[in-house]
Structure 1
Amino acid sequence: MKPQQNYPQIITDETFQETVQHGLENFPFCYYLEDVWDFDFHCIDWHWHHDLEFIYVTHGTAICFADGQSIQLPQDFGMFINSGVLHRYEAASSVLLPNIVFSPTLLAEENSLLYEKYIAPILSSHTPFQIFSPEIPWQKKILDLLKQIFSLYETMEKNEKKELYIIQIVWQIWELLFDCLPLTIQLSETKNSRNAQARLQIMMQYIHDHYQSPLTLEEIASSALIGKSSALQIFQSGIHLSPVAYLIQYRLDCAAHLLHTTEKSISLIAEETGFSSTGYFCRKFKQRYNISPGEYRKKH
């Protein structure tokens, strides 16, 4: 992905796996307090990780894309993102999003009884995410427990028993998930979902690698060894865009990066980012950013 200056970014590898280690090797847990609006293009872009993620919205409304769905999370709502799920957050204005990210092994070692009996069933279930509403009692309990963890990080000194308290609270959260989530393992459905996500990642990466060249839907689909109709279906269910629409969006993101990090002419930037003409590039750019490329350059 093309990083931009002066904004926090999600750093991923070629499979969209986040490359940042969350927490310490001997305590794989991390707390973040983030405003989605501060991120590049006001979104925390597509990524996934083996870690588990819990978020809480304290201000504004977050839009999360996960498992082919678009989810609006208003203030005081929260969400659980399961391990390995490709997701993205967007915001139309400032959205304060305290969140925790931790490895499943924080709770128990793999192959241990605790892991196999209480952790693996959730990881293996067809539960890519779970929304938490303050109106539902068991979900409100989880939201209250998350707020306890956030409070620990905001008030406790380094020499206090923060890690011990965190483990206790996280286990309470996990027990509520274990008791209340439908954990019937649908192996064929889960396998199909993971295969679709893998193909989506392959095609997205192909676009990232070849966006400067003329690309067709057939070429994008062929990169994942599937047909055009399957590519359309996977993109639409995965990120709610067609492959060509995602290609144009990515080209525009790269062009925006060049506009405020280089002095190249607008026509040269249009050519370098794969647009067939400067006029077409300018029209698409204004549709996406509501300002012209020249105005964008001045603003940044």
Structure 2
Amino acid sequence: MNIWTAIKTDDTLNEDVQHGNTDYPFAYYMENIWDFDFHCMDWHWHHELEFFSTTEGTAICCAGADRLEVPAGCGMFINSGVLHRFEAQSSTWIPNIVFSPSLLAAENSLIYRKYILPLLHSGISWQFFSPKVTWQKEILDILSQIYHMQEQEEGAEFSTMRLLFNLWDILLKNLSISANSGTLPQLDHRQARLQIMMQYIHDHYQEELTLQKIADAASISKSSALQIFQTGIHCSPVSYLIQYRLAQAADLLYTTRKPVSAIALETGFTSAGYFCRKFKERYQMSPNEYRAK
């Protein structure tokens, strides 16, 4: 079992961690979203498939262009390459498994082409699981068995694989997937541009940034940038910029003794007063109160 308290990504927001190993690309995590920085597992994506259940609290999952509440007893599937984020308003435990599609079958095999690729390239970003729906409850029960195996058993790989095949079979039988959806990947250009603009903000947040500069980073218009941000992460580029600056400032408040005014300027705010006002709006406390806590 693995436990993390922060999400680390590369320049494309691809999660910068190996899930499992080359011999067995499967990992199990028992995580409390509340324990992560600012009670969220921030925007990231990975090539691996992800399944999770909520066992306590209510997980808020932003996946693709959607924002969903996943209460205790429910769960979700997140497809390969989908940008997503988890938030929580209180202690929220989400046991989850992350594994490579190639774990189910070799990429050059008939099984992979016929049964794995169609779902990977289906355009389905996620699937919600409710215990009130028979086939979805079956998947939730299988996930519970998989979690239990990772926590209790040594050498559970074979039994885990058996359950993963069962889970995948149920998923395929109950999702509407086009017969030719596995032929060509459906590239999500909007998500790619969103990731480019988000990374541009991460790299230049200390500078004077405008909507035009952010849009130029992805070679699109200002109106397109607004639409892509609103659809992708439900806020404007400038709002995301402010949120990111505040997160960096909070980290400096925690790790340094620099004056608040210096931190404000270092993180791109034009004045300490404006910084303090925005900080209190987001974190419900002043920068000094945050540092004291």
Give the TM-score, by structure 2 length.
Answer: 0.96
Matches within 5 A, 1:81-92: 81-92=78-89
Matches within 5 A, 1:58-69: 58-69=55-66
CA distance in 2, matches of 1:77, 1:98: 11
Q: Select the residue among 278, 281, 294 that pairs with 2:275.
A: 281
SS for the counterpart of 1:89 is strand
Q: Compute the RMSD of aligned alpha carbons.
A: 1.2
Deviations 1:231-250 (A, max 9, x none): 00000000001000000000
- Percent of matched pairs sharing the same residue: 59
Provide the residue aligned with 2:211 in structure 1. Answer: 217
SS for the counterpart of 2:69 is strand
SS for the counterpart of 1:284 is helix
Deviations 1:196-224 (A, max 9, x none): 00000000011111111111100000000
Deviations 1:151-197 (A, max 9, x none): 112221x2x4x11000000000000111111112679xx846x1000
Provide the residue aligned with 1:167 in structure 2. Answer: 161
CA distance in 2, matches of 1:108, 1:98: 24
Q: Which amino acid counterpart does residue 43 of structure 1 have in structure 2?
A: C
SS for the counterpart of 1:111 is coil
4+ residue runs of structure 1 moved beyond 4 angstroms? none
Q: Select the residue among 76, 97, 101 that pairs with 2:94.
A: 97
1:18 paired to 2:15: yes
In the alignment, structure 2 segments of 5+ residues that lack a partner are none
Deviations 1:28-69 (A, max 9, x none): 111110000000100011100000000000010000001111
Deviation at 1:100, TM superposition (A): 0.3
Provide the residue aligned with 1:31 in structure 2. Answer: 28
Check 1:216–1:186 CA distance in 2 against 1; reply closer, same or farther (3 A cut).
farther
Q: Which amino acid counterpart does residue 95 of structure 1 have in structure 2?
A: T
Deviation at 1:19, TM superposition (A): 1.4
CA distance in 2, matches of 1:103, 1:41: 29
Q: How many residues align?
A: 287
Provide the residue aligned with 1:244 in structure 2. Answer: 238
Contact 2:123 2:186 in 1 (8 A): no
Provide the residue aligned with 1:3 in structure 2. Answer: none
1:294 paired to 2:288: yes
Provide the residue aligned with 1:70 in structure 2. Answer: 67
Q: Which amino acid counterpart does residue 239 of structure 2 have in structure 1?
A: A
1:109 paired to 2:106: yes
1:136 paired to 2:130: no
1:265 paired to 2:265: no
In the alignment, structure 1 segments of 5+ residues that lack a partner are 1-6
